[in-house]
Amino acid sequence: MAQKVQGTEDLYGGYMRAWQRMQDVARELFGAYGFDMIETPAIEQVDTFVHGIGESTDVVRKEMFRVVSGALFSDLLALGDESRLKPRQRMAMRPEGTAGVVRAVVENNLVPQGAAPAKLWYAEAMFRGERPQKGRLRQFHQVGVEWLGASDPAADAECIIMLMEYFERLGFARESLRLVINSMGDAACRPAYREKVRAFIMDHADEMCEDCLERAQVNPLRAFDCKNDHCREVMAAAPLAPDNLCEECAAHYASVKRYLDAAGVAYVEDPTLVRGLDYYTRTVFEVEAVGAGVGAIGGGGRYDGLVELEGGKPTPGLGFAVGFERIALALAEQGVELGGEAPACVYVACTPGEVERAAAFDACRALRAAGVRTEADYQGRSLKGQFKQADKFGALLCVILGGNEVAAGVATLRDMVSHEQVEVPFGRLADEVLARLG
């Protein structure tokens, strides 16, 4: 039997409805904040991610699924490495949404000089070659927003407020969420801070793991994220970002916190929160569903240098992404079924016979034209079998068409809950059904 790729999932039934619900809630809420939907290609040039996410990140170095056409694949094997491929021939599946959206904003000039910011949201599959486990997939789904052209700290706060409101609308109890924030500084203060952390790691070189020693060379801040307990213990004494902010960054961070306080949004400051990607500046944040055991369910931050890295004019930006699969797991843990019930339907049943079948065919058309989800029998079932099937579908109403009804130009309408039955003239069937469905 053919099998799906490890770490991927099929979305159908209630799980698919849950993913659709996440998109519906996003469309409504993010729309109220002025965000429009965007979809960028699932494949981009590798350089888009290298520039944006950072050469030294795990995502770029180890987790990107690289894409080659069949024809190029043989060349690649013959060449032995990809160095002779042109940049446009080096492609990867997107591991996250921001780099591609920022590339699209630059390429389509969506924030021209002097224009209002671009506010975009997406709902897309992402691809990372990680070791699959609970809440960690190789193809997963994110809803995210990118806000390009806004430098005001109110934008950072509004982004976070919108994110927390989104989680609430999906069904999370506010107390079950832990919002963690930090400021990582900017181009003015971060380089000096990075050097301090690098020097700290080198001073403790004999106590740190190989990976952290490598991180010290490429991106020392990542050592705060080390999975090794001992490295984390050592890093607890390392210099902290909020203590090393320049005046502007400190003022920006203080302002974000004031806005969050004014909106009554609770947060915890974690001076070691650095997030995995290179592009963040100033505000970073992450949200965890307490006790769900699935890790972060969403996170984001400001990335004021990213548009330039993707070849655009200096443009501030910020955004976040949340993971569908982890949210579904965390909500299930709290007893919330994100997908809800299957949609209600009406079942059209008929006795055997060509005339009755034709009447059922017409009834289905009339009900569907009125927007009613309508089911019927397509497998030659007896009337009793059709009633059973109507129950399986969870039909609220059943339209019954026997020889007598058809001859009289009426249909019997049966309420599947109260079992009450009424006769309805054929021409009024759709109106009557709509009225009863409320």
Cα separation, 61 vs 57, whole angstroms = 6
> Closest CB to ligand AMP among 35 and 140?
140
> Closest CB to ligand AMP among 96 and 405?
96
The structure tokens 């579904």 sit at: 328
Give the H/E segment covering residue 168.
helix 153-170
270 scored as a contact of ligand AMP (CB under 6 A)? no
Query: Does the annotation list 128 as a binding residue?
Result: yes
326 scored as a contact of ligand AMP (CB under 6 A)? yes
> Closest CB to ligand AMP among 8 and 109?
8
Residue 53: which of 201, 241, 275 has the closest Cα?
Answer: 275
Residue from 104, 137, 155, 366 touching ligand AMP (CB under 6 A): that is 137
> Closest CB to ligand AMP among 139 and 386?
139
Query: Does the annotation list 142 as a binding residue?
Result: yes
Q: In what order do the strands lie in the sheet with 410-415?
A: 374-376, 346-350, 397-401, 410-415, 421-425
Residue from 120, 189, 260, 321 touching ligand AMP (CB under 6 A): that is 321
The DSSP string of 317-351 is EEEEEEEHHHHHHHHHHTT--TT-SPPP-EEEEE-
The region of 24-32, 175-183, 188-196, 295-303 touching ligand AMP under the rule CB under 6 A is 295-303
136 scored as a contact of ligand AMP (CB under 6 A)? yes
Residue from 298, 301, 305, 319 touching ligand AMP (CB under 6 A): that is 298
Residue from 96, 165, 278, 405 touching ligand AMP (CB under 6 A): that is 96
130 scored as a contact of ligand AMP (CB under 6 A)? yes
Instruction: Report in angstroms how near the CB of residue 297 gets to ligand AMP at its nearest.
Output: 5
Q: Output the CA torsion 99→102→103→106 (10° steps).
A: -160
What track of x and - describes contact with ligand AMP for positions 195 through 234 (by CB under 6 A)?
----------------------------------------
> Closest CB to ligand AMP among 62 and 84?
62
> Closest CB to ligand AMP among 128 and 198?
128
Copy the structure tokens of residue 244. Answer: 């090393």
- Up-side HSE of residue 423: CA atoms within 13 Å toward CB? 8
What are the C-alpha distances in Å from 132 to residues 7, 67, 128, 199, 311? 5, 20, 10, 35, 34
Contacts of 130 (CB under 8 A, 6+ apart): 7, 63, 136, 137, 138
142 scored as a contact of ligand AMP (CB under 6 A)? yes
Residue from 11, 296, 383, 437 touching ligand AMP (CB under 6 A): that is 296
Query: By the 8 A CB rule, do 123 and 143 touch?
Result: yes
The structure tokens 């002025």 sit at: 34
Contacts of 25 (CB under 8 A, 6+ apart): 166, 169, 170
What are the residues facing 285 on neighbouring strands? 181, 300
Residue from 19, 140, 224, 279 touching ligand AMP (CB under 6 A): that is 140
In the complex, residue closest to ligand AMP by CB: 323
What 3-state class would DSSP assign to 291? coil
Query: Does the annotation list 347 as a binding residue?
Result: no
323 scored as a contact of ligand AMP (CB under 6 A)? yes
143 scored as a contact of ligand AMP (CB under 6 A)? no
Residue 154: which of 247, 258, 250 has the closest Cα?
Answer: 258
Residue from 117, 299, 301, 305 touching ligand AMP (CB under 6 A): that is 299
Q: How many residues bind ligand AMP (CB under 6 A)?
A: 18
Query: Does the annotation list 291 as a binding residue?
Result: no
Q: Cα Rg for the chain, rounded, in angstroms?
A: 28
> Closest CB to ligand AMP among 139 and 389?
139
Contacts of 302 (CB under 8 A, 6+ apart): 156, 280, 281, 282, 283, 284, 316, 317, 318
What are the residues facing 347 on neighbouring strands? 375, 398
297 scored as a contact of ligand AMP (CB under 6 A)? yes
Instruction: Report in angstroms how near the CB of residue 272 gets to ligand AMP at its nearest.
Output: 16
128 scored as a contact of ligand AMP (CB under 6 A)? yes
Distance of CA 123 to the CA centre of its chain: 5
**Which residues are known binding-site members?**
96-98, 128, 142, 146, 275, 279-280
**Which residues are known binding-site members for L-histidine?**
96-98, 128, 142, 146, 275, 279-280
- Which residue ranges make up the site for ligand AMP (CB under 6 A)? 96, 128, 130, 135-137, 140, 142, 276, 296-299, 321-323, 325-326
